[in-house]
């Protein structure tokens, strides 16, 4: 048989070629077509570029945690405490993202970071975390929808000129629930790109608005142009907050510290969502290149925007404002930017800022539902959820998993009564922060074991596409901080919401350990020794997809692609 009959290779005139090489080459084109067709049928479509992945993650991160929950955090921690909390947890979030980047760039798992945790830590841990982290996508979207509906009901409302929207909030909830669930993969990626771009631009505009207000560039309610400067950083408003016991400021130093600690809970809720990128990687085109790029874009944008925004918030809004202390009916206007706009003589900005908050909330809800459906799909693909959830539509959407996540949006009706809206939001924060802290803990744990496995198996670090800059010190420090935070985060919940708040703050911990024990008991298995962890499973597939991406981008046919790979 002529070895060059299929155009495989030219041995420089030599006719020497073993039979194994000929056989492999002869079936390669046919095998390629079959592999490509099977991949399209059974897996999510890799159609999202790095910018779309970044914007989807930003969509799930930039939500009501920054624009709404920051109001309560400002009251509890003060302008200085709020800024320090965002800087401190921003560092922890940076370490988490770099750990996730190193793991995902080496082997971008289609099951997301849950699959990586199952591999590097233990399948039981991955199973428990997968179902626990899924709770975030059950409770966060209704929280955002609830906030959007309340704000929509009072979109033109000011503190002294109420104007109630004629459409009831219950109707807005239905509209929002339907609206956030009608996007396909490619359509969602493109729309979320523009929505998240709008959110970034809106944050920049709000920052400039705050600077203008602080520097005296607009007329205040008193009728004067007055420079605020750092007035709210001085007593009695600041620099630290007023604790969490009731609505009366407490000068006790212990309460000041506990108020700062409670602020950390709100700040973690705002930072949560950055790890969503570890779930979306299953649909990223050329993940070896796009995932590290998307992760670096995400943490740079989020941390910079967050710290700048909360600094401005501390300049334009007093932490002892009547809206926070309860002496004035907030009617859903607890956002510091709305409070600042209400202090101006011109009230036209109030509905504009309200509309911005609605856009932030709905974009975050859409991104969370989208990502939750992919997480549920990954669990089913791994045999940890009903197999029927792996069924995909023609466009590559996991419709049944999407429907299962979307159904929980009706929990937003728990806050239908405006008087209970903030109460329901606080319960959602309690549950969500537990799921988020557990996911960060497991990511750090997986990263530590991954590095230890590389060392145990004498794998050089040069094989990695990305190296976490602060490992191991930053990883260990952030792991310890997150564990401490997860254990003691329920103080505010107990003080303000008593036993119900305490249950909401910690209920996911027994849920997580029960799931881990269930999987361990029925599936058995032990922690794999570091020198036995499989660092190659699935890597060949990612290598082929990477080669496939570059060859298709260069316009070369599949036959040339196989020639390059087999060489």
Q: Give pLDDT tens digits for 241-281.
A: 777 765 555 567 778 888 888 888 888 888 887 887 877 76
User: Which residue, 497, 383, 471, 450, is CA-closest to 95?
Assistant: 471
Give the residue among 207, 173, 191 at the shortest CA–CA distance from 59. 191
The two tokens of residue 439 are 């996911």
Which pLDDT value is given to residue 174? 79
Give the pLDDT score at 250. Answer: 59
Rounded to 10 degrees, the C-alpha dihedral 446/452/454/456 comes to -140
Residue of 471 and 402 predicted with greater confidence: 471
* Lowest mean pLDDT, pick from 3-12, 88-97, 285-294, 334-343: 3-12
531 occurs within a structural domain: yes
Query: Among 357, 337, 341, which residue's Cα sits nearest to residue 150?
Result: 357
Least confident range of 45-49, 212-216, 319-323: 45-49
CA distance 114 to 294: 19
- Confidence tier at 171 by pLDDT (50, 70, 90): confident
The answer to the question of residue 328 being in a domain is yes
pLDDT band at 34 (very low <50, low <70, confident <90, very high): very low
Average pLDDT over residues 228-239: 85
Band of pLDDT at residue 423, cut at 50, 70 and 90: low
CA distance 389 to 377: 6
Nearest-angstrom CA–CA distance, 514 and 344: 53
> Cα(113)–Cα(281) distance, rounded to whole angstroms?
9
- Averaged over 160-180, what is the pLDDT? 69
Average pLDDT over residues 552-559: 58
Q: Say how far apart CA 90 and CA 105 lie, in whole Å.
A: 22
Give the chain's domain count: 1
When the pLDDT of each residue in the chain is averaged and rounded to a whole number, the result is: 76
| Beta-ladder partners of 49 | none
Is residue 194 scored above 80 in pLDDT?
A: no
> What is the DSSP secondary structure assignment for residue 527, as one 8-state letter?
P
Q: How far apart are CA 340 and CA 312, in angstroms?
A: 11
| Region of poorest pLDDT, from 174-178, 306-310, 464-468, 547-551 | 547-551
Out of 97-111, 164-178, 422-436, 506-520, pick the least confident. 164-178
Nearest to 334 by CA among 288, 266, 403: 266
**Gyration radius of the chain over CA positions:** 26
Given a cut of 80, whether residue 374 has pLDDT beyond it is: no
Give the number of other CB atoms < 10 A from CB of residue 37: 10
8 Å CB contact between 284 and 546: no
Residue 564: inside a domain: no
Nearest to 376 by CA among 367, 362, 363, 386: 386
Q: How confident is the model at residue 519 (pLDDT cuts 50, 70, 90)?
A: confident
Contacts of 380 (CB under 8 A, 6+ apart): 386, 387, 388, 389, 390, 401
Q: Is the alpha carbon torsion for 509, 515, 518, 519 positive or negative?
A: negative
Domain membership of residue 417 (yes or no) is: yes
Q: Which positions ≥6 away from 204 have C-beta within 8 Å? A: 305
Its domain, for residue 326, covers: 44-550
> Crossing angle for the helix pair 123-153 and 421-456, nearest 10 degrees?
150
* CATH of residue 378: 1.20.1740.10
Lowest mean pLDDT among 279-283, 504-508, 529-533: 279-283
pLDDT band at 84 (very low <50, low <70, confident <90, very high): very high
Query: What token pair was written down for 552?
Result: 């298709």
- The DSSP output letter for 281 is G
| 415, pLDDT greater than 60 | no
Q: Is the pTM of this model over 0.75?
A: yes
Residue 37 has pLDDT above 90, yes or no: no
Is 206 in contact with 221 (CB distance < 8 Å)? no
Considering the domain boundaries, does residue 263 fall inside one?
yes
Structure tokens at 17: 């070629």
State yes or no: pLDDT of 143 exceeds 90: no
Q: Do the domain assignments include residue 217?
A: yes
Which of the 8 DSSP states describes residue 499?
Answer: H
Contact 81, 241 (CB under 8 A): yes
Closest by CA position to 59, among listed 192, 204, 207, 198? 192
Residue 13 belongs to a domain: no
- Distance CA(164)–CA(289), nearest Å, equals 50
More confident residue, 564 or 58: 58
Is the residue at 3 inside a domain? Answer: no
């Amino acid at each position: 048989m002529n070895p060059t009959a299929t155009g495989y290779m030219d041995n420089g005139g030599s006719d020497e070629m073993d039979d194994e090489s000929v056989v492999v080459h002869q079936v390669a084109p046919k095998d390629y077509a079959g592999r490509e067709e099977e991949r399209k049928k059974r897996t999510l479509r890799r159609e999202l570029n790095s910018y779309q992945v970044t914007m989807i993650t930003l969509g799930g991160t930039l939500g009501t945690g920054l624009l709404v929950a920051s109001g309560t955090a400002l009251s509890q921690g003060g302008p200085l405490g709020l800024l320090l909390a965002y800087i401190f947890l921003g560092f922890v979030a940076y370490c988490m993202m770099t750990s996730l980047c190193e793991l995902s760039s080496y082997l971008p798992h289609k099951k997301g970071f849950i699959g990586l945790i199952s591999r590097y830590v233990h399948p039981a841990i991955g199973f428990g975390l997968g179902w626990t982290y899924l709770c975030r996508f059950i409770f966060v979207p209704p929280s955002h929808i609830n906030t959007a509906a309340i704000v929509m009901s009072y979109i033109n409302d000011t503190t002294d000129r109420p104007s109630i929207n004629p459409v009831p909030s219950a109707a807005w909830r239905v509209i929002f629930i339907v609206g956030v669930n009608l996007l396909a993969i490619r359509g969602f990626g493109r729309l979320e790109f523009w929505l998240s771009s709008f959110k970034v631009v809106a944050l920049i505009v709000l920052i400039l608005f705050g600077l203008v207000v602080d520097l005296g560039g607009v007329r205040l309610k008193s009728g004067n142009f007055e420079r605020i400067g750092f007035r709210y950083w001085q007593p009695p408003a600041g620099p630290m907050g007023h604790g969490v016991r009731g609505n009366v400021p407490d000068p006790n130093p212990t309460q000041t510290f506990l108020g700062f600690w409670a602020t950390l809970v709100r700040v973690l809720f705002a930072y949560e969502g950055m790890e969503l990128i570890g779930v979306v990687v299953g649909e990223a085109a050329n993940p070896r290149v796009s995932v590290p790029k998307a992760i670096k874009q995400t943490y740079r944008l989020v941390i910079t925007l967050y710290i700048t925004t909360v600094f401005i918030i501390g300049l334009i809004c007093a932490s002892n404002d009547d809206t926070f202390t309860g002496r004035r009916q907030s009617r859903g206007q607890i956002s510091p930017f709305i409070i600042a706009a209400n202090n101006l003589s011109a009230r036209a900005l109030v509905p504009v800022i309200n509309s911005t908050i609605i856009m932030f909330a709905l974009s975050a809800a859409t991104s969370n539902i989208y990502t939750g459906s992919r997480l549920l799909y990954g669990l089913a693909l791994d045999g940890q959820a009903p197999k029927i959830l792996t069924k995909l539509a023609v466009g590559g959407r996991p419709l049944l998993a999407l429907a299962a996540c979307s159904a929980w949006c009706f929990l937003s009706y728990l806050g239908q009564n405006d008087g209970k809206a903030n109460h329901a939001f606080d319960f959602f924060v309690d549950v969500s922060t537990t799921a988020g802290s557990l996911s960060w803990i497991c990511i750090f744990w997986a990263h530590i074991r991954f590095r230890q496995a590389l060392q145990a198996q004498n794998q050089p670090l040069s094989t990695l596409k990305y190296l976490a800059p602060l490992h191991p010190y930053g990883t260990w420090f952030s792991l310890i901080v997150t564990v401490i935070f997860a254990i003691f985060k329920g103080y505010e919940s107990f003080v303000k919401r008593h036993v119900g708040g305490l249950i909401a703050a910690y209920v996911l911990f027994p849920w997580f350990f029960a799931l881990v024990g269930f999987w361990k008991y029925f599936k058995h298995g032990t922690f794999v020794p570091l020198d036995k962890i499989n660092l190659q499973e699935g890597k060949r597939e990612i290598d082929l997809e990477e080669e496939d991406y570059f060859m298709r981008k260069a316009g070369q046919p599949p036959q040339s692609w196989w020639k390059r790979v087999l060489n």
